[in-house]
Structure formats: structure tokens, C-alpha cells
């Protein structure tokens, strides 16, 4: 696994989620209770961008239809989503946020759109 730098710590203040990239890889990076998290940027319900959503006290909420996900596990904690989102290991050091990407990890995209075009 390789940790890639995605943002400065100051770009992800408490209670905020934003989209960041590491090359081809796209993430929603959030900070909740002081800890930085990285997840897929695509809601498992209908692919809305989670970086356009809002953090809740217990996870990340999608702005489209109200689904929410645990930032640690990616499990859905509020419907209509039933599938988890992918979560990535995060390291924060020297004022920078790094996301762990496995060697065989493929960049995540909107799954429904990818499926349609294949």
C-alpha cells in the first residue's frame, strides 16, 4: 500500500468534507471530531458526490436523497442506500493528509455510469 498526499490539513477543517485527488484517484476527505477520513466520492445509492454532502455527528450524509454512511467502515447508517461506500486508510503528519491506496486498487468512479458504458 502506498500513501499518497491529497491535501494540506488546513484544507479540511472540522465538520467539512471536500473532494481531493491523487492522480486518477478521487476521494471525499472529511474531518469529524478532529480525525481525517477518506472515502469514495460516490454515494452507493445513485452516485451523487459525497463531497457535496454534509457531515453529521455520526458520519457523512449524501445531499441527494438522505443516505448516510459511517466514515470508519463505509456502512450505510441511513437509507435509501443499502450498500457500503469504500473507505481508505488515512495518515496525517506534518500538516498534510495522506490516503493509502493498495497496489491493485483501481480508481473509483460513478458505478452506475461505468456499468452503463461497459
- Residue 33 C-alpha from the chain's centroid: 16
77 near ligand FES (CB under 6 A): no
Instruction: Using CB atoms within 10 Å of the CB of residue 14, give its burial: 0 to 12 exposed, 13 to 18 middle, 19+ buried.
Output: exposed
81 near ligand FES (CB under 6 A): yes
Residue 65 binds ligand FES, judged by CB under 6 A: yes
Secondary structure letter of residue 9 according to DSSP: G
Rg (the chain; Cα; Å): 13
Q: Which of 4, 18, 54, 64: binder of ligand FES (CB under 6 A)?
A: 64
CB of 14 to ligand FES, least distance (A): 23
Applying CB under 6 A, the residues found at the interface with ligand FES are 43, 45-46, 48, 62, 64-67, 80-81
Amino acid at each position: 500500500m502506498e500513501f499518497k498526499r491529497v491535501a494540506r490539513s488546513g484544507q479540511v477543517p472540522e465538520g467539512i468534507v471536500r473532494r481531493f485527488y491523487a492522480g486518477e484517484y478521487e476521494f471525499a476527505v472529511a474531518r469529524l471530531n478532529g480525525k481525517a477520513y477518506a472515502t469514495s466520492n460516490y454515494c452507493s445509492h445513485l452516485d451523487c458526490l459525497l463531497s457535496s454532502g454534509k457531515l453529521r455527528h455520526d458520519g457523512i450524509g449524501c445531499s441527494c436523497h438522505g443516505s448516510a454512511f459511517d466514515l470508519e467502515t463505509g456502512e450505510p447508517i441511513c437509507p435509501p442506500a443499502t450498500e457500503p461506500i469504500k473507505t481508505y486508510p488515512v495518515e496525517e503528519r506534518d500538516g498534510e493528509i495522506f490516503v493509502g491506496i493498495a497496489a491493485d486498487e483501481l480508481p473509483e468512479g460513478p458505478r452506475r455510469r461505468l456499468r452503463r458504458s461497459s
